[in-house]
Structure formats: structure tokens, C-alpha cells
Chains A and B, each alone.
Chain A
Amino acid sequence: AQRVTQPEKLLSVFKGAPVELKCNYSYSGSPELFWYVQYSRQRLQLLLRHISRESIKGFTADLNKGETSFHLKKPFAQEEDSAMYYCALSPYNFNKFYFGSGTKLNVKP
């Protein structure tokens, strides 16, 4: 069975502090992992994908196959980073995506 776990419902940090949003997955094959973000009153949008290995808005995420994790990190949080963040998994036959329950990031001034 495929499953994505985001253990934190809410994460509050002060502006300038480091942020790590946790994501663990269970999947028997080699999935593709994503982070989607939903800003207040906006649609879900892709933040980054593990195969791109890029940094978007200062965020990075490394796929750790040994720990089956795909944690999202940013060294210095900004107030505009406040949003819901969803980790998602897609098998490589890519007609299905599984989302975690989401973590609300609140960056305080």
C-alpha cells in the first residue's frame, strides 16, 4: 500500500528561523515525491519534485530512500512562507497521486 505521512499538523516558527517539514512515505517500488503548497485562498500548486533537485523559494527537499523520507527544508523562514504544505507520492505509472495530511506552516514576525 502507498502511504504518505506528515506527522506535524502545525509548525510555528519565527521569521529567520530554520524550517523542516517532515514527510515519510511507504511504497514498495520507486515513487516520485513532490511538495505542493497551498497559500491562503489559493489553489494547490507544485513547489518542488525530488527528481528536479532544485531549490524553489529557498526550499529544498532530499529524497532519502533508506529512511523513506522527503523532508522539506528552508534555512531562513519568511512570513510569506506561511501556508499549507502537502507531501505527495506518485508511482511511476503516474495516474495516481497520494497526498499526506498536510502541515500548516505559520511564520511569525
Chain B
Amino acid sequence: EPEVTQTPSHQVTQMGQEVILRCVPISNHLYFYWYRQILGQKVEFLVSFYNNEISEKSEIFDDQFSVERPDGSNFTLKIRSTKLEDSAMYFCASQDPNSGANVLTFGAGSRLTVL
């Protein structure tokens, strides 16, 4: 069964450093998402991406965040200058709107620890 893959599984970084989290969505999916889950809290929407541009973003997704799909397969989330409160599990998800099923398929997540 096709999967959404995410790398790295865990990254530890110093506050102020840049981090790039990578995702390979399912190949025929067209919508891509990033969600985050701070330890013990709920899964929060960050951003959705369609047709090579952001379709929607939350208040959390401020100027320090950016997304891109540089090569048609990878979908990346960049955090420019990490803060302690960015420590969380980041989930990538993809969706095929043409399947008739409004379903997100999630990756296993990337755990980011900011020291």
C-alpha cells in the first residue's frame, strides 16, 4: 500500500537554527498538508498546498515557516529560525481529491526537538 514518507524521524537542533523537514507524498495525490502536534496536545493544522502554491494556512504558520515542492516529489517544511516552542511532532499528509474519498493519508511524523 502506498505510504507518505517523512525524514528525518527525529531531529535535534539548537534554538535559532534552520530546519528542513522532508516529505514524499503518495505519487498521484494532489493536496499536501503539514500538521503539528506539540507533546500532549492536539493535532494542529499548519498549511495546505495545491498546484504549487499554498492554498490555506493557519495563524501558526507565520513568516518563519515556508513550504515548497522543489522537485515534483518532495514536499518540504522549512523553519527558518527555530524557537523552543517549535518542538513538536510534524506530520505530513497528502490527499487525492480525484478519488472521491475525502481522506488524508499521514506520514509517520518527524519529531523536532529544539534546545
- A residues contacting B by CB (< 8 A) are 32, 34, 36, 42-46, 49, 86, 90, 92, 94-102
Contact = CB atoms under 8 A, between A and B. Distances in A.
A90 B103 CA distance: 9
Contact of B50 (A34, A44, A92, A95): A95
Interface of B: 31, 33, 35, 41-45, 48, 50, 55-56, 91, 95, 97, 101-109
B33 to A, nearest CB: 8
Given A43-B108, A95-B48, A100 B42 contact: yes
A100 B43 CA distance: 7
A99 B42 contact: yes
Nearest to B102: A94
A86 B91 CA distance: 14
A45 B93 CA distance: 10
A98 B44 CA distance: 8
